[in-house]
Structure 1
Amino acid sequence: MNLMTVEQISKFYGEKRIFENLSFGIETGDKIGVIGINGTGKSTLLKAIAGIEEVDRGKISRMRELKTAYLPQTPLFERDECAIDYVLRTCAITDVTGESEAKTILTKIGIDDIYARCSELSGGQRKKIAIAAALIAPVDLLILDEPTNHIDTETISFMEGMLKKTAKALLLVTHDRYFLDRVVNKTLELDGGRLYVYHGNYSQFLELKAQREDLEAANERKRQSFLRRELEWVKRGAKARTTKQKARLDRFEKVSMQQSPLKKQEVQLTGLSSRLGRKTIELRNVSKDYDGKIVIKDFGYTVLKGDRIGIIGPNGSGKTTLLNIISGKTAPSSGSVEVGETVKIGFFSQESNDLDREQRVIDYIKETGSYIDTSEGKLSATKLLERFLFTDDMQYSPIGKLSGGEKRRLFLMKVLMSAPNILLLDEPTNDLDIETLRILEEYLEGFDGAVITVSHDRYFLDRTAQRIFSFEGEGKIKQYEGGYYAFEEARQEPVKEKSIKETVKRENTHQPRMSYKDKKEYESIESEITAIEEKIAAIDDEMRTCATNYSALTELTNEKEQLEKELEQKTERWLYLEELAQSFL
C-alpha cells in the first residue's frame, strides 16, 4: 500500500541548490536508507517528508490520516522533563498499558532511572530516550535522522532488532554500514542534486551502484565516439539541404546537448605525519573518578608506534575521559602519564560544534598556515580545501552556513594538517558521510603512527582497529585482540564455557521426570505448531490480496504478530519437552 508519493520536489537555500526534481514512493513494508556525501540535503529531505520543512517546488502526497514520527539528530526536551514523561508526551500515551510499555522500552534501552531529569543526563542518554519514544510510537512511518550517533553499540544492536521486526515503514539517514545492511531493504542515494533508487540493503546498493556507473561510463564512451565521428562529418562541409542531412545534423545537436555523467565528488585526504621516536605515551596505574564515581581504575598501557586501538563501552562509561587523559586535557586522579619528546598528538574530538560560526572557512584553516606541507609538496590552504570538497563559495562563507557533517570534515582537515604522529579520534564517524569514512579508513591504513579511536561504529572498528579496549563497569578496562567482530566472538566464549559446565552439571544430577500431562502435550504440540504456521501463511496470502485496504491490513498485521509470539512460545516449549523425552531414551 502506498503511504507517500514524492513528485519532482526541489529545495534551494538562496542560490544554492540542495536537491532538484526528486521523485520516489514509500510503500508499506519499505525500510529505506538515504545516503550521500555531507551537504547533499539528506537531513533536509527527511524534514520535508516529515512535514517540518517546505519544499520550493514539487508535490508530496500522503495517505489519508498517515501517522509519522520524526527523530532529529538532536532531540529537544521540555524544561524539567523526565525520561518517562518525554516518552508519554511524544507518543501521546494516556493508558496504563501504554505507560507500562514505555517503562519497559526505557529499561531495555539502558535508562536505569526513568524519572531522571533529561537536562541532567548525557547527550547519549537523551538520545536513547528519544529512540525509545520513536520505537513505540503508534505510527505508520518512522523517520530517523542519524539514530546511531552518540549511542553505544549495545543500544544500536537492540535498535536493529526492534526495527527489523517492526511493521512500520522506515526512512532513515545513517553512516552505520552494518546497520544499513541489517535493517534496510531499499536505498536512496543523493548525488549532485539527483536521486538514485536501489532495491536492497547497503551491500546490494554497492553492487547495483557499480553496475550503474559502469553502464553510464559505457554509454558516455559511445556518445563521445559518435560525437567525434559526426563532428568530422560536419567539418567536411555537410550542408542541411536534404531531409536526410538535416535529420543527421539535428541528431548531432541533440546528442551533443546531453549531459555527461556527473564527476564523482571524493574527498582527497592528504597530510604528513611527524617522526615518532622510541618513547611514545605510557600510562601507569591511571585512575579517574568524578565525585566518588570511579570511571577508570588502575589502568596501564604503553602506546606502540603502529598501534590501532578501538575503545568501546556504554554511554558515560569514561571513553572520552581516557582520550582526554592521554592527550593531557584531563589530569588523572592518581597514576601518571609520560609522553615522549617526539610525540605530536592530533585530537579529532567532538568539539567541532564549538567552532566560531562567524569565522570564514578559509580563515579557520589559515590559522594553521597559508601553505601546508604534504606528501606531494606544499599545497595552499585554498587547494587543500578543494580536496576536502569545499568550493570557492564555501571557503569564503562563515562556518555557521556549513552542515554538521561539513563542519566535522573541516575540523578533520585541520587536525591532519598539523602533521600528527599519534591520532586520537573521538567518535570520528558521527556526522561524516559514508564516502568520507571509506577514504578516512584507507588513509588510516597507511598512517605512519598510532591511532586510538573511540567509536560506536562497528564497521569502522573492524576496518581500523587491531586491539579493543572495552569499558566493563566499575572502572575496569579489558583488552581484546582484533577488531569489533573478534571482540564479540571473544566475549561469547565465557558464555559458551559456562553453558558447557551447566550441561555437564545437569547430566550428573537427577533429571526431572516427564509427567503424564507432559507426555500428552508432547504428542500434540507439533501439530499445534504446524497449525499456527498455516494460519500465518494464510494471513500473508490475505495481506497480499487486500494491500489497498488500510484498516484490514492493520488488523491482519496485529493478528500475525500475536500468532508469531504464540509460535515462539510453543517452539520453546517443544524444545524443552523434546529434551525431556530424549533423556528417557
Structure 2
Amino acid sequence: MVSYLQVDGLRKSFGDLLLFDELSFGIAEGERIGLIAKNGSGKTTLLNIIAGKEDYEAGSVVFRRDLKVGYLEQDPKYPAALSVLDACFHSDNEIVQLISEYESIINSSDHSKLEEVLGRMDYFKAWDYEQKAKQILSQLKINNFTQKIEHLSGGQLKRVALANVLIAEPDLLILDEPTNHLDLEMTEWLEDYLKRTNVSLLMVTHDRYFLDRVCNEIVEIDNRRLYNYKGNYSYYLEKRQERVDAQNAAIDRANNLLRTELDWIRRQPQARGTKAKYRIDAFHELEEKARQEKSLGNVKLEIKSSYIGSKIFEAKHLSKKFGELKILEDFNYVFARYEKMGIVGNNGTGKSTFIKMLMGLVSPDEGEIEIGETVRFGYYSQDGLQFDEQMRVIDAVRNIAEEISLGDGKKLSASQFLQHFLFTPETQYNYIYKLSGGEKRRLYLCTVLISNPNFLVLDEPTNDLDIVTLNVLEEYLRTFKGCVIVVSHDRYFMDKVVDHLLVFKGNAELKDFPGSYTDYREWKDFQEQKERSELNAQIKKSNANEKILYKRNDAQDTGKRKLTFKERKEFEELEKQIPMLEEEKSCLETEMSSGVLPTDELIEKSNRIAVLIDLIDEKTMRWLELSEMQ
C-alpha cells in the first residue's frame, strides 16, 4: 500500500496548554480516516499543521512526492469582491498555479517556456478547469457564477469552498467539518460523491452517518493519546467501548491495590524504609495510575423542567414572504404538550425564519401565534451568543443561574452542571477567550439549559459540537420533560431526538411527517421511485399510442403536404452547411486549445464559436422541420 502521509512525533502547545505530544500516524492510498476528539483537543489545529497553515514545536509531517492535496477549512474565507467563479481560481492548487503561469508567459515577450507549460496544461487537463468548476458548482446548486462572495450565505460559501477543493481532483482530501452549514440534500450529495471516488480522506466531522458510510478507519485522540480503529464508525463504537471498559477496570483495580498499599506503607517504621524501596516505588506508580481520568461512559443528566400547561402554542393563518420568496402561506398548527418536532429542509426555505417568528424576533405578514402562559423558552440560536471573552467559564453560567433543579429537592450547582457537559473543574476557571470554537458552542448550550426552560428551541445545535457532547445532549433531550423544536442537518441527531418532522419544501409548501428522518428519507425515495415508474409507464403508453396513430394517418392521409421545390433546395443546402459549420467550430476549438494564440485572438475566436453554436442550433432545427415533410 502506497504511503501518502506520515506524521511522526508531533508536538503542539499553546502556552501551558499541551494539545498533543509524540503524536504519530500515517495515511495510505485508499484510506478514508475520520478523526474524532473532544472539542479543545486540537483537531482543527492538527489539520492546519498537516495543511502547512500552522507551525509545530517538534516532529515531522512528510507527504509523498508529487501528491496532490486538497484542504477544506472549517470556516473558509475569500475576498468579498470576488465572484463565485473567480473564487474557484483563488486557490493555491497546482492547476490554478499552472493557469496563472501560462497567462503570465502569454502576456510576456519571453515564450521560451511555453512548450513545456503547454505540455503540463494538457497533462493536467487545465483547459477544462473553468468548465469543471461550473459543473461542480451546478451540482452543488450554485448557478449564479457572477454573484459576489459577500452576498453568499454561510451554506453557499461552504459549497463554493467545497467546489474549489473538488475541482482539482486531489489524491488526498483533508476536510474540516465538511457538512457544517450544508443542508441535508447537499450532505447526501457529498456523501455519495466521496463514496464514488477513489480519493483518500482525512476528515473531522460530527456527522455520524457520514462517518459510518464514508470512512474505513477511525482515529481518536483521547487524553493526548492516539487510538486507531480499522473500520467504520459503528465498528469504532463497539471497539472503543471495549477499550473504555478495560481501562476503567484497570483504574478500579489500581484504586483497590492503592488502598492496600497505602495501609501497608503507613504501618512501616521509618528505619526499615530502605529495605522495601521497590514496594514504595510501586506504590507511587499505582498512585499515578489511579489518578488517571476514568473514561466517561454514558453520561445521564435527568433534570426536572419547570411546569408546562396543556396550551403550548397555536399558529393561526400565518403568512410570511420576502419579496417573491414565500416562507409560509395560511399556515395553521397546534403544538402539543411534550411534543418533540424536528424541522428539516433545504437552505433558504424558511426554517430559521419560522423559529424567529415563534420567538417573537420576526413578525408574520399575516396571522398570529398564541403562546401558553406557562411556556418558558430556552432558545439556542444558530448565530451563537456573544460572550465577554475576559470572563471565566464558571462565571458565564453563574450569571444565569447558580444551580439547577433535578426534582425531589435535589439540585446541581453550576459547576456540577458544567461537568456533565464535559467542562473539567480546571477548564471552568479558564477565561473564555482560551476556549476553542466548539467549546464556546458547548458553553452557550449550557447557558441555555441551566435557565431551566420547559420548551427548548434549538436552531442548528450540532454545528461545531464534538460527538461526545452530542451524545450528552441527545441523552438530555430524550429524557427532557418538556417540549422541543430542533432545526438540524444532522440526520443521526434527528433520528435519536425527535418524534416527527415538519418538512419545509420551499415556496411555502410544508409537510408534517410522523416519524424519524430515516423513515422520511425511505418514504421520499419510495415516492420518487413510484413517480418515475408511473411517468415511464405513461411515456411508453403515449409512444405506443403515437405509433398506432402514425400508422393510421400514414394509411389514410393521402393529402399530406410535400416539400416545395424551394424547400427541397433549402433542405439540400442545409445538409451541406451544417457539417461545414461543425468543422469550423471544431477547428476553432483546436486552435484555442493550442495555447499559442494572443489574448485578442482568443477572445475573437471565442465569440465566433458562440455565433457558430447559435447557427448550428438554428439550422439543425430547420433541417428537422423539413425532414419531417420528406
Q: Do these two structures clear the TM 0.5 threshold for a shared fold by scoring above it?
A: yes
Bigger Rg, which one: 2
Change (3 A) 1:393 1:236: closer
Across the aligned residues of Structure 1 and Structure 2, the Cα RMSD in angstroms comes to 2.9
- Say whether the 8 Å CA contact 2:421–2:472 is kept in structure 1: no
Give the match for residue 352 of structure 2. 320
Letter in 2 for 1:61: V
| Structure 2 runs not aligned, ≥5 long | 100-125, 548-630
For residue 421 of structure 1, the aligned residue among 454, 457, 462 is: 454
Give the match for residue 557 of structure 2. none
Quick one: distance in 2 between partners of 1:88 and 1:195? 37
- Say whether the 8 Å CA contact 1:9–1:57 is kept in structure 2: yes
Change (3 A) 1:166 1:496: closer
Where do residues 319-398 of structure 1 align in structure 2 (5 Å cutoff)? 319-352=351-384, 354-375=386-407, 377-398=410-431
- Say whether the 8 Å CA contact 2:248–2:295 is kept in structure 1: no
Give the match for residue 449 of structure 1. 482
For residue 511 of structure 2, the aligned residue among 442, 453, 478 is: 478
How far 1:431 moved relative to its partner? 0.9
Change (3 A) 1:278 1:248: closer
What is the SS of the residue equivalent to 2:88? Answer: helix
Residue range with higher mean Cα deviation, 56-65 or 215-224: 215-224
Give the match for residue 528 of structure 1. none
What is the SS of the residue equivalent to 2:308? Answer: coil
Letter in 2 for 1:340: G
What is the SS of the residue equivalent to 1:73? Answer: coil
Give the match for residue 25 of structure 2. 24
Residue range with higher mean Cα deviation, 349-358 or 262-271: 262-271
How far 1:510 moved relative to its partner? 3.5
Give the match for residue 244 of structure 2. 213
Identity %: 41
Residue range with higher mean Cα deviation, 171-180 or 70-79: 70-79
Cα shift readout 1:14-71 (whole Å, capped 9, x = no counterpart): 1112122211111111111011221111111111111111122222222223332221
Quick one: distance in 2 between partners of 1:499 and 1:370? 59
- Say whether the 8 Å CA contact 1:272–1:420 is kept in structure 2: no
Change (3 A) 1:448 1:504: same
Give the match for residue 121 of structure 1. 152
Letter in 1 for 2:310: R
Quick one: distance in 1 between partners of 2:338 and 2:11? 48
How far 1:362 moved relative to its partner? 2.9
Quick one: distance in 2 between partners of 1:276 and 1:231? 53
Quick one: distance in 1 between partners of 2:185 and 2:351? 15
Change (3 A) 1:476 1:45: same
Letter in 1 for 2:155: G
Residue range with higher mean Cα deviation, 468-477 or 52-61: 52-61
How far 1:465 moved relative to its partner? 1.5
Question: In the alignment, does 2:98 pair up with 1:67?
Answer: no
Cα shift readout 1:233-285 (whole Å, capped 9, x = no counterpart): 8768997999xx98788777766665765312576646441211121111112
Letter in 1 for 2:25: F
Cα shift readout 1:480-538 (whole Å, capped 9, x = no counterpart): 1101011112213332332443455467563999xxxxxxxxxxxxxxxxxxxxxxxxx
Give the match for residue 273 of structure 1. 305
- TM-score, normalized by length of structure 2? 0.75
Letter in 2 for 1:365: V
Give the match for residue 410 of structure 1. 443
What is the SS of the residue equivalent to 1:22? Answer: strand
Change (3 A) 1:335 1:227: closer
Give the match for residue 430 of structure 1. 463
What is the SS of the residue equivalent to 2:90? Answer: helix
What is the SS of the residue equivalent to 2:378? Answer: strand
Change (3 A) 1:261 1:100: same
- Say whether the 8 Å CA contact 2:404–2:452 is kept in structure 1: no
Letter in 2 for 1:60: V
Give the match for residue 104 of structure 1. 135
Change (3 A) 1:257 1:374: closer
Question: In the alignment, does 2:293 pair up with 1:262?
Answer: yes
Give the match for residue 59 of structure 2. 58
Residue range with higher mean Cα deviation, 332-341 or 210-219: 210-219
Quick one: distance in 1 between partners of 2:367 and 2:466? 39
What is the SS of the residue equivalent to 2:503? Answer: strand
How far 1:159 moved relative to its partner? 0.6
Change (3 A) 1:281 1:58: same
What is the SS of the residue equivalent to 2:81? Answer: coil
- Say whether the 8 Å CA contact 1:217–1:261 is kept in structure 2: no
- Say whether the 8 Å CA contact 1:35–1:173 is kept in structure 2: yes
How far 1:421 moved relative to its partner? 1.3
Give the match for residue 282 of structure 1. 314
Quick one: distance in 2 between partners of 1:279 and 1:136? 53
- Say whether the 8 Å CA contact 1:283–1:299 is kept in structure 2: yes
Letter in 2 for 1:433: D
Quick one: distance in 2 between partners of 1:169 and 1:468? 35
Change (3 A) 1:505 1:372: closer
What is the SS of the residue equivalent to 1:129? Answer: helix
Quick one: distance in 1 between partners of 2:77 and 2:501? 34
- Say whether the 8 Å CA contact 1:122–1:316 is kept in structure 2: no
Letter in 1 for 2:60: K
Change (3 A) 1:400 1:268: farther
How far 1:332 moved relative to its partner? 0.7
Quick one: distance in 1 between partners of 2:47 and 2:218? 14
For residue 510 of structure 1, the aligned residue among 533, 544, 547 is: 544
| Structure 1 runs not aligned, ≥5 long | 514-585
Aligned length: 511
